Amino acid sequence: MTIDTSKTTATAGSGDTTASCWSCGDMRAAHFCHACGKVQPPLPVNYFSFFGLPRKLNLDVAHLERDFYELSRKLHPDLNARADKREQEWSLEQSSLLNDAYRTLKDPIKRTQYLLRLEGVELESHKAQFEKKYEELAEELKNHWDHWDRALDLDSAQERRDALDGMVDLLNRRSYIRNLVRDVNEALET
């Protein structure tokens, strides 16, 4: 996979794939000018376009990695330390976008989720829902503590038993949810 930088300047859905270099006026590449080598201002592109790729999910990750390192060497802010402030800022923005795009596209799950977002599909975040529920259970546990304390004040064996049963049930549900969150995290990391 080689970087086709002539196509990476297109914004999502636009047909414009060319632009002129801000410095020399020649036709530029997406990230830097082939004629004068100056870093170009970032254009709004999706991560696939940033690497000159179609929106396909089957990627050659080894080629993606080579392209990433090639662009990293050319766009790194340290290489543009002597450039004017504007070009330094563009270099930093381009490098940041490069890193974000690479991290997303190299991971099959993140790549799929990103493509779905580009296509207008928002996934429910089950992990976030589980984590929220897990925290809600901590608040519910406090209610059981209050029940327990009232039962002690009333010296009621039945109320103490009800409070204990409620705490056991809650802690079992909390363990179940904690295990689900752990399993989801492990699945996302592989």
Question: Looking at residue 80, what is its pLDDT?
Answer: 67
Q: What is the DSSP string of the chain?
A: ----TTSTTPPTT------B-TTT-SB--SSB-TTT-PBPPP----HHHHTT--S-S---HHHHHHHHHHHHHHH-GGGGTTS-HHHHHHHHHHHHHHHHHHHHHHSHHHHHHHHHHHTTPPPP-HHHHHHHHHHHHHHHHHHHHHHHHHHHHHT-HHHHHHHHHHHHHHHHHHHHHHHHHHHHHHHHH-
pTM above the 0.85 mark? no
pLDDT band at 33 (very low <50, low <70, confident <90, very high): confident
Q: Where are the domains of the chain?
A: 1-123, 126-189
- Whole-number pLDDT of residue 105: 95
- Residue 72 has phi, psi (to 5 degrees) of -60, -45
Please check the confidence at residue 10 and state whether its pLDDT lies above 50.
no
Instruction: Give mean pLDDT, residues 163-171.
Output: 89
Strand-pair partners of 39:
32
- pLDDT at residue number 2: 36
**pLDDT per position as a tens digit, 65-95:** 999 998 888 877 777 667 778 777 888 888 8
Q: Was domain 1-123 assigned CATH 1.10.287.110?
A: yes
How many Å apart are CA 79 and CA 88, to the nearest integer? 9
Quote the percentage of the chain above a pLDDT of 70.
Answer: 78
User: Average pLDDT, stretch 7-20?
Assistant: 42
**Residue 181: how many CB atoms within 10 A of its CB?**
18
